[in-house]
Structure 1
């Protein structure tokens, strides 16, 4: 009986800490909306802004990246999202030059905002996060203050 109790306690603690780590990494799993045109994102424990959203109806996690020219999708995730690889591209990244592929996104949603028919790149990466680049972000006003990013349409 004690063995079962200890096993159950260990399982519950493991689940609790996994949930805490997920919230620390992405504190914007539920996006806070101020009004129909404004959302607020909290900075994560590494100083980044991550947020849950949708691409073509599939749940994804975005990493907002004002240094990225376009939306960049890791290759394995692009396959799950059923995105078609277009022509080959040479991509300049922080890690150097890599080969990627052009693609199109039918719809991209972040909170109440939905963008349609966006160009994107599929890139080799192990990440589960999609870089939300400037071709999407330029359509919004971004204000960063005190660990929060206000996004207004």
Structure 2
């Protein structure tokens, strides 16, 4: 039972990592969206204290966004994803600003560049996700899984011998 559970957990992590790696390679802008949801690790402090460096965010795409919504969008000029709050809606564009920034962004965000509205923030979990998606993290997941599998096997044998 434990062995099966470990295999399922390891399998899910490996498949997820493979999906993310393949999807980031296939998509020009690097952020795969699945069923309208996307996730990312925050790498700048422009939204501190609400969203800090190392936090894990989940976004959900919507038809419309409003003033006050925190959105993630792709900035074609810098080639980066940015998560900021909408401060003005003007036709098909948004004016945005990071909560920790003194001034608004000096560019407008077209609706087509928006990935989604931030619907969840997991404090600090982005650091864990980033590690698990790294080559070393993947080796640790697979190696740790194998080690746990072996230990579960040994534990099963020890209990079997005690029962005899």
TM over 0.5: no
More strand by share: 1
Where is the helix percentage greater, Structure 1 or Structure 2?
A: 2
TM-score (norm 2): 0.30
TM-score by length of 1: 0.32
